[in-house]
Amino acid sequence: MTITLDYLNNCSASAFAGALQGIYEHSPWIAERIASRRPFANPVQLKLALQASMAAATLDEQLALIRAHPELAGKAAIAGKLTAESTSEQARAGLNNCSEEEFARLQELNADYHRKFGFPFILAVKGPDGRGLSRHAIIETFARRLGNPPDHERSESLRQINRIAELRLNDLLGIAPQLGNQVMSWSEIIGAWSDDADNLTCAYMTEAHRKTAGQLAQWMREAGMQVHIDAVGNVVGRYASDDPAAKTLLTGSHYDTVRNGGKYDGREGILVPIAVVGHLHERGEKLPFHLEVIGFAEEEGVRFKSTFLGSSAVIGEFDQALLDRIDADGVSMRAALEAAGHDRGAIGAIARKPADLLGFVEVHIEQGPVLLLQNLPVGIVTSIAGSSRYLVELTGTAGHAGTTPMTMRRDAAAAAAEIVLYVERRCGQTPGLVGTVGQLEVPNGSVNVIPGRCRLSLDIRAPEDGARELAVADILAAIDALCARRRIECAVEQVMQAPAAPCAPWLMHQLSAAAERQGVPAFTLPSGAGHDAMTLARITDVAMLFTRCGNGGISHNPLETMTADDAEISAQVLLDFLRHFKPRQVSLTQE
């Protein structure tokens, strides 16, 4: 018998639990406890209900669930005693074909892991896209997670169990996240093109950058868009309305990366809209407004230390003086643009007229752990944090480490240490406020010399400018006071100041409604990272949709990850949002 959502909604409670008995390993109670919550409007609601049932369980029940899972390539697998689901999953990852060396390594890891945590290592071996992780990736992940603290690893094990259950439910109901799979596949293709052989680095106007732009343009054309690459390298796809006088809704994100970055930062916000437009185009479905998908050429500032180049050109605020910036190889931005065939004289023509725009909506991987901890696939951003950045140089007196009494020292590094701790203490007092000292050095330091100089950076962020500005004032005052007490000279240079960019409530409301129609609670959260949306906010209303980030929420890192199912939900929320979109005046009237 084919299992469908309709059957699950209408069968008896016992039949419901029976149909889902293979979803969570030897734990029918998870499904039994949600039978009374039927009917579920869609599979997403069912998945979230199952996950909530597990989350509400006692610690003992959760540990029993974890322990019900078999070891990878363990004794149960060798003896053929796994469930049908586990057998299929381990075989899909090739764990039944391990080399002697791989098998020995897995047995060693299994023993070490169980000795440390008291339960088996659990990993959704079908991976983020459901196609299966390699044995190398499995062993690498196993070894990395062995270093986690026990509480952290227990939580990660439960998340992996939910991912396994999600994939099993997809198989049971015959669900394929087609748009999500497309996004993941595209991410792999352009993620293989890098300035560096050993990691993903895609800096402005390099060969990998230009190749990525060309591929994005090709995918946009195949999705039914009119496409061009503008004078700063933005890739622009226009899905035109049948009404030539219609206004334009913008979406998109950046396709450059940090050094040794992840595959989804920025790029998800280009690929999801392309997939959505392709879906509309296949059905001959037009929108009552023009939709432009923009792959912004540069946001990270890696090559020329100049962030938001692409989006600043779109709002008409490109700084022509940046063309004289020189990269590490002595190449100017002007020369890089000319070598790529771009006409710098046409940069001014990129600017959009605010009166022509309906708004800007950016899809982006969260780059943090909030959605992961909330067990939600997507969230609605409330505000993009403002940021204040400084470089601080401290000057004391270098001296002999063995002969200078502690009371007579002018130790620049000790002053820096006190600053670091004050930043941590002060920023921990206000929710949403964060402070980071990301650079800290003792120039020409020596083990037996009191540091006479020290340099450090300050990065203070908050979703509300008032909280950030108050914290900055307190931190700068504290630096002055402690330097005076320690007899340290101090020079502070502000290197960046960006105001917070609140998201437009009317757009947030429509994104929230779209999420709820897709079965996801409308959860809101601020963005601590900067995004192109904060630049666009200078000329139009903006909103952002975050997608859950795996591996503890890590980003700007090769471990950055998301799943095809979460990408699918983001795509479906965006698609729903576009189909129900109401311009600001109409939206506010209806509210």
DSSP state for residue 332 in the 8-state scheme: B
Averaged pLDDT for residues 27-35: 96
CA distance 446 to 340: 46
Global pTM exceeds 0.85? yes
Q: What single string gives the DSSP state of each residue in 189-210? A: HHHT--SSSSS----TTSHHHH
Cα of first residue to Cα of last residue in the chain, in angstroms, is: 46
User: What are the backbone dihedrals phi and psi of residue 559, each rounded to the nearest 5 degrees, phi first?
Assistant: -75, -5
**Whether residue 321 sits in one domain with residue 419:** no
Dihedral-angle region of residue 144 (phi above 0 means left; psi in -120 to 50 means alpha; beta otherwise): alpha
Q: How far is the C-alpha of 441 from the C-alpha of 202, rounded, in Å?
A: 27
Instruction: Tell me the pLDDT tens digit for each residue of 71-93.
Output: 887 766 665 656 777 777 777 77
Q: How far is CA 80 from CA 77, 91, 104, in A?
A: 5, 12, 19
Q: Do 525 and 492 fall within a single domain?
A: no
Structural domain including 364 reads 180-383+501-590
Decide if 117 contacts 110 (C-beta within 8 A).
Answer: no
Residue 556 has pLDDT above 60, yes or no: yes
- 205 pLDDT exceeds 60? yes
Q: Could you report the per-residue pLDDT of 302-328, keeping only the tens digit for each?
A: 999 888 999 999 999 999 999 999 999
Tokens of 442: 């003792």
CA 487 to CA 490: how far, in whole Å?
Answer: 10
Residue identified by tokens 């450090």 is 456
Q: What is the DSSP letter of 38?
A: P
| pLDDT score of 118 | 96
Comparing CA positions, the residue from 128, 125, 201 lying closest to residue 561 is 128
pLDDT of residue 170: 96
**What are the tokens at 441?**
């050095």
> Mean per-residue pLDDT for 4-33?
95
Rg (CA), the chain: 26
**3-class secondary structure for 404-454?**
CCHHHCCCHHHHHHHHHHHHHHHHCCCCCCEEECCCEECCCCCCCEECCEE
CATH number at residue 414: 3.30.70.360
- Any idea what the CATH number is for the domain that residue 61 is in? 1.10.3330.10
159 and 216 part of one domain: no
Q: Please, which residues have CB within 8 angstroms of residue 567's CB and are 6 or more apart in sequence? A: 177, 179, 180, 183, 184, 268, 272, 547
Q: How far apart (Å, rounded) are the C-alpha atoms in residues 471 and 473?
A: 5
Average pLDDT of the residues of the chain: 94
Q: Are residues 525 and 434 in the same domain?
A: no
Please give the structure tokens belonging to residue 460: 């203070």
Residue 253 CB: number of other CB atoms within 10 A?
28
At 157 the pLDDT is 97
Q: Which residues contact 568 (CB under 8 A, 6 or more apart)?
A: 177, 178, 179, 180, 181
Boundary of a domain, candidates 482, 498, 514: 498
**Mean of the pLDDT values across residues 195-213?**
97
* pLDDT at site 479: 98
How far is Cα 569 from Cα 519, in angstroms, rounded to an integer?
Answer: 9
Last residue of a domain, one of 498, 525, 543: 498
Confidence of residue 588 (pLDDT cuts 50, 70, 90): low
The token pair at 219 is 């995918």
Question: Can you give the CATH number for the domain in which 220 is found?
Answer: 3.40.630.10
Mean pLDDT, to the nearest integer, of 272-297? 98
Which residues, 6+ apart, have CB-to-CB distance to 453 below 8 Å? 393, 394, 395, 396, 398, 412, 442, 443, 444
- Same structural domain for residues 185 and 218? yes
Q: What's residue 495's pLDDT?
A: 87
pLDDT bucket at 590, cuts 50 / 70 / 90? low
Q: Are residues 301 and 329 in the same domain?
A: yes
Tokens describing residue 389? 């950045």
pLDDT, tens digit, 9 for 90 and up, residues 246-270 = 999 999 999 999 999 999 999 999 9
Number of domains in the chain: 3
Backbone angles phi, psi at 238, to 5 degrees: -115, 120
Mean pLDDT (whole number) for 419-439: 96
The CA-atom distances, in angstroms, between 97 and each of 91, 92, 94, 490, 539 are 8, 10, 5, 62, 57
Judgement on whether residues 531 and 548 belong to the same structural domain of the protein: yes
Q: How far, CA to CA in Å, does 572 sit from each of 266, 377, 566?
A: 18, 12, 10
Instruction: Tell me the pLDDT tens digit for each residue of 91-128.
Output: 777 777 888 898 899 999 999 999 999 999 999 999 99
Residue-level pLDDT at 71: 85
Across 143-289, the runs of DSSP E, i.e. the strands, are 226-229, 235-239, 248-254
Q: Would you state the pLDDT for residue 586?
A: 66
Above 70 in pLDDT, residue 235?
yes
487 and 347: one domain? no
Mean local confidence (pLDDT), 231-241: 98
Same domain assignment for residues 154 and 44: yes
Under the banding of pLDDT at 50, 70 and 90, the label for residue 566 is very high
Per-residue pLDDT tens digits for 439-449: 999 999 999 99
Give CA separation, 138 vs 33, 113, 184, 199, in Å: 33, 14, 19, 19
Give me the pLDDT at residue 299, please: 95
How far is the C-alpha of 472 from the C-alpha of 423, rounded, in Å? 9
Is residue 452 a contact partner of residue 397, using CB atoms and an 8 Å limit? yes
List the structure tokens of 543: 């909103």
| Sign of the alpha-carbon torsion through 546, 551, 555, 561 | negative
One DSSP character per residue, 139-151 reads HHHHHHHTTS-HH
Three-state secondary structure call for residue 235: strand
Q: Please, is 76 exposed, middle or buried when counting C-beta atoms within 10 Å of its C-beta (0-12, 13-18, 19+)?
A: middle
- The reply to whether 187 and 168 lie within a common domain is no
**Cβ atoms 396, 451 nearer than 8 A:** yes
Residues 76 and 136 in one domain: yes
Domain boundary among 498, 517, 548: 498
Q: How many angstroms separate the CA atoms of 203 and 193, rounded?
A: 11
Q: What is the pLDDT of residue 1?
A: 63
Looking at the fold, whether 146 and 164 belong to one and the same domain comes out as yes
